[in-house]
Structure 1
Amino acid sequence: MVKTYESKQNTSSKFTLYEQVDCLDEQNQWLNAEVTEITEEKIKIHFTGFSKNFDIWLEEDSPRVQKQWRKNTPFSINNRIDVLDTYKQWKEARIIDMNETQIKIHYRGYTEKYDEWLHKNSERIQEIGSKSPANGIGKVDPSGYCRYSKQEIQPEIKKQKISSDLEKRFEELLIEKNLKIFPVEGDGNCLFRSFSHQLYGDTGFHDIIRASAMKYISIEREYYSQYIVGGLDKVDEYLEHQSRNGAWGDDIEIQALSEIYNKPVEIFAYSNIPMRTFHEDSGIGIPIKVAYHGQSHYNSIVSKDGHRRLIETTPGEYERSIIESAASGEFREMITRARMDFDKTMQIDLEQALQASLEHLENEEAMIRQAIEESENNEYLMAIAESNELNSEEEMLKKAIEMSTRDILPSAVQDVINSGFTLEQAMEAYHMVGENPNVMIEYIFTNIIGN
């Protein structure tokens, strides 16, 4: 029997049920959270993307929780907001000081040297989650159903703002691993079309894939409810919404599908190394591979030598058998193992992970361009090339990068590389936590090597 609950709404509370708020956690980090219950004196807080085991009760006037900033309302110290940085990238920031006309902001994951003062009326300031990958009032869709749903549900995917050069580079990186992108229609069903192509070699069975995911989430509603705004009370509304043709799928659906098909699901984004993997340790057989291009658009990734469907049965047969056996002890043991890392995975939003991947690729491209320019003026390198010690333009480029990297990279990145870590590890850490080498190394051990 599915457990249900009644939330007590205090009508005099300054907070409302399911409201997105800024909340200080036990690690002294201001995070996005949601009000899930309200009593006469306290509110229950659920941190977005975390297991409900981390839920806390706070006094309504606790300094650890506050309403999120909205347009045409006063700012508060520690409000989380979206800010357009000096490189024209929208990032999550927090207000750390203010005066009558300005606010001082600190970018999350960056050092103090990037703090800056902005006029309160600056167009560079927006509601949290409305522009950046951060969670917040700007991130929750108009229906308010899913913590990870996007700002618009529409039949067509928004035109991507990612340059064709980056898309071409993405394709080149995949080719290095003997992979290529199989594009699917951008009609809102692209996640399910990509799974359909991976599983059955045809995008046309997306409706079967979607319906199976919704039935499965309904059966497993007690678990998945912790990732849906409103918890168990809103699961049926969420399922009704997500069952519609054209409704975008996201992390919840990917995890459910990985459990249904008992396969790892690798998400690639502008790299030939998966940016995220679902069901990694428990899945069986060849992974399902999909490309993520931002703003909830997915494509299928296949071998250059051709794609072989992962399921040989008639579409729908396997799904029916799994739905029927979903409550069995053997099946439950399997999904319990599969869910061990899902809470951690959900803490990293896809758009945020995509941004980190793009920044890494853009830096790599900039390094290559500078290496090429320097190589043209490097008499030693040209002499080597002319003597045929470098047999190709590619080898010459690699040598140029090697020779110029030390002068191009930030000193913190170079320090981390000198400590024995790879350039890729150092660059990811640099963009995620800033330029403190010790903090970067800790990030690498915890989030890259540790995973």
Structure 2
Amino acid sequence: GGEWHDDPNHPSYQRPNEADENKQEEPEIDSEIPMQSEENTQMDKDLKALICVQPAAQNFKPTTKVQVPSEKAFQLARKRLADQLRLYGVVEYRIAGDGSCQFASLSDQLFRSLSKTDALRAHAVRQLREFPEYYVEFVHDNNYVNYCNKMSKQSTWGDHLTLQALADRFLIVINLLTSYEHTPHVEIKPRHTGTVKRHVWLSFFGEVHYNSLYPANRIQERLDKDKHSCRIS
């Protein structure tokens, strides 16, 4: 019932999960995702050693606006990103462009598997609903409830705000090698930086697609894991 207000200090304010009576059921998610392993720690170190890039943009501000580039800009962006990847000796583990590429790329980085894609989307939405005061100012159409509801659907593209939400929730630093001309490396830090658990690395192309990054000399390990999974199934 009642009008919902974006200002958490307003007397009529309700948290989105309370205000929205018709939200879809979220998939089952783990109470705590185990992300540390010897393999992950070594892979993180290998990537960080390769990608000692210029200082990342420190004034990262999340946005929910997506600007799809023109065809000409698209081609230039593709070349810029390819040059970036070659420069640092990293390659992309290709993720399907099905609306969940951001969450799938993060699942691959965190677990070396795509199995947590839906769970990570649910975690992002839960973070947004539980702590609206951190994120509401970045939603440009001023309807935060609708934004959260839409983001809970599998076909909705993740954006900068969901990256920030997941960085905050899991105390991870999300590094993007991008196709942007002036900010080729974007670093998304958790709001509380006391104990950073992981550094993860994604490519981000033209506002439309994310892939998971690997050192060029280690991508075959990941591809072999896929082949092994296929043989088992």
TM-score under structure 1 length normalisation: 0.32
CA distance in 1 between partners of 2:72 and 2:167 (Å): 27
Please state whether the residue corresponding to 1:287 is helix, strand or coil: strand
Larger relative contact order (Cα-Cα within 8 Å, sequence gap ≥ 6): 2
- The aligned counterpart of 1:150 is 66
Write the deviation string for residues 174-218 of structure 1: whole angstroms up to 9, x where unpaired.
233231111211111111111111111123421111000001111
Deviation at 1:147, TM superposition (A): 5.8
Deviation at 1:6, TM superposition (A): 5.8
Deviation at 1:3, TM superposition (A): 4.2
The answer on whether the counterparts of 1:160 and 1:295 sit within 8 Å (CA) in structure 2 is no
Counterpart selection for 1:247 from 153, 156, 176: 156
Please state whether the residue corresponding to 1:203 is helix, strand or coil: coil
The amino acid across from 2:119 in the alignment is: I
CA distance in 2 between partners of 1:159 and 1:192 (Å): 26
The answer on whether the counterparts of 1:166 and 1:270 sit within 8 Å (CA) in structure 2 is yes
The amino acid across from 1:212 in the alignment is: H
Gapped runs of 5+ residues in structure 1? 8-145, 153-157, 310-451
Alignment of 1:243-392 (within 5 A): 243-270=152-179, 274-279=184-189, 282=193, 284-306=196-218
Deviation at 1:244, TM superposition (A): 0.6
- The aligned counterpart of 2:145 is 236
Deviation at 1:267, TM superposition (A): 1.3
The answer on whether the counterparts of 2:91 and 2:213 sit within 8 Å (CA) in structure 1 is yes
Counterpart selection for 2:103 from 177, 180, 192: 192
Please state whether the residue corresponding to 2:102 is helix, strand or coil: helix
Larger radius of gyration: 1
CA distance in 2 between partners of 1:296 and 1:303 (Å): 23
Number of residue pairs the alignment of both structures matches: 162
- The aligned counterpart of 1:167 is 78
The answer on whether the counterparts of 2:178 and 2:205 sit within 8 Å (CA) in structure 1 is yes
CA distance in 1 between partners of 2:100 and 2:172 (Å): 21
Is the alpha carbon distance of 1:226 and 1:269 closer, same or farther for their aligned partners in structure 2, counting shifts above 3 Å?
same
Deviation at 1:160, TM superposition (A): 8.8
Q: What's the % identity of the aligned pairs?
A: 22
CA distance in 2 between partners of 1:298 and 1:223 (Å): 24
The answer on whether the counterparts of 2:65 and 2:140 sit within 8 Å (CA) in structure 1 is no
CA distance in 2 between partners of 1:151 and 1:269 (Å): 14
CA distance in 2 between partners of 1:300 and 1:199 (Å): 10
